[in-house]
Amino acid sequence: MIFSSGDFGRFLKCWRDHRGLTQQNVADLPEINTNTTTISVAESGGFWEAQQRLARLYLFELNEFEAEEIRGLATAAELSRALYKIRMNLRLTEESAAERAGISVSTLRIAESKAWSDAIEHYVEYAIRDAMTEPDLLLKLIGRSLAPWYFREPRGRRRRVPR
């Protein structure tokens, strides 16, 4: 995986800042049509981290066939549905699964929610499609989200380093 959990959030925030949009503006876009809480969760990276933690926790509890199925899931919505089903099959309560994964119960509910996953995926897809409309913007935003320190605005005059 190229992106870590926080990188998705930073990418979305970089895109939103580049476009000069507020969280409310993004939430009101017809293609996204959600609330600002969803936008905030997507940009925080907590959603992605929670899904990864739950998947890792459950992978140890599954047989090899079931583990391969979860590894092959492509979207956050597919993973959300699978995480919920696996928790039910393992007969774990929300509280015990959250505690074992090191997340809160509310974060677990978000990670398992198809509605949240769908809304966050719409945001990601929209931001990527929009970034692809300008040459090199997608790469620039990915770079900023992967290495924010590298893309800082230079301060003052740069010194030349003798070779």
Domain that holds residue 76: 5-146
Please state which of the ranges 13-17, 70-74, 145-149 shows the lowest mean pLDDT.
145-149
Residues whose CB is less than 8 angstroms from the CB of residue 130 and which lie 6 or more positions away in sequence, other chains included: 15, 19
- Determine, yes or no, domain membership for 75: yes
Of 41 and 163, the structure prediction assigns the larger pLDDT to 41
Residue 21 has pLDDT above 60, yes or no: yes
**Residue given tokens 């995480």 in the structure block:** 83
**Region class of 160: left (phi > 0), else alpha (psi between -120 and 50), else beta:** beta
Structural domains counted in the chain: 1
pLDDT at 65: 72
Residue 4 has pLDDT above 80, yes or no: no
pLDDT at 94: 94
| pTM, full prediction | 0.70
- Determine, yes or no, domain membership for 113: yes
Say if residues 6 and 49 touch (Cβ distance below 8 Å).
yes
**Residue given tokens 């499609």 in the structure block:** 129
- Determine, yes or no, domain membership for 160: no
DSSP 153: P
Residue 148 has pLDDT above 70, yes or no: no
Tell me the pLDDT of the chain averaged across its residues: 81
- Determine, yes or no, domain membership for 156: no
Of 21 and 145, the structure prediction assigns the larger pLDDT to 21
- Determine, yes or no, domain membership for 65: yes
DSSP 2: -
Residue 22 has pLDDT above 80, yes or no: yes
Q: How many residues does this entry show for the chain?
A: 163
In this prediction, residues 16-21 reach a mean pLDDT of: 92
Residue 116 has pLDDT above 70, yes or no: yes
- Determine, yes or no, domain membership for 161: no
Residues 56, 50: Cα–Cα separation, whole Å: 10
